[in-house]
Amino acid sequence: FWPGRSTAGCRGIGQLQRQELQSIEDCRWPISAVYNHRMSLQRTLAIIKPDAVERKLAGRILQRIEDEGFRVRAMRRMALTQAQAEGFYAVHAARPFFASLTSFMASGPAIVLVLEAEDAIAKWRTLMGATDPAKADAGTLRKEFAESIERNATHGSDAPETAAVEIADRKS
């Protein structure tokens, strides 16, 4: 509601359809209300893995993160113990790569971040690229910085539920 403006015949901003934007002048909503509508922000956990830290790529990866419009809400350099790595990747415990993945993640320091952006999980996963760098799109972090499927430079949450758990776990 804007004082002095009629909203007769208008639907709420969230109900506007793309094709209706051509006839926006029929509605008395201020045009800024339509174009300034923001999606809700989302947070995701990101890790710059030990291989990228060891090869001194963290600064370049962080620059790309900021260039893509993410806000770094928290950042911590840490070395996972074997037990922490096994707990973090417990969802993969039955997979054949579990032992080598957890050993790798405990092999050196990593940089753990909480990133914030609109649709942050999907946006971060797109920026990272496919797990296998040979299959990753050009311009993605894994295409540029990964050495192999396991030593692939970055980790990211795959869903809002896992992001919430991973972020909560990293606070301890």
Distance between CA atoms of 73 and 83, rounded to whole angstroms? 26
For the four alpha carbons of 128, 132, 135 and 139, in that order, the dihedral sign comes to positive
Spacing of C-alpha 105 from chain mean position: 19
- Secondary structure class of 121 (helix, strand, coil): helix
Within a 10 A sphere around the Cβ of 116, how many other Cβ atoms? 16
Q: Where are the alpha helices (DSSP H) in 69-159?
A: 82-88, 98-105, 120-128, 141-145
Spacing of C-alpha 25 from chain mean position: 37
Residue 114: phi and psi, rounded to 5, are: -110, 120
CB 72 within 8 A of CB 120: no
- Give residue 10's identity as a one-letter amino acid code: C
Give catalytic residue positions.
155
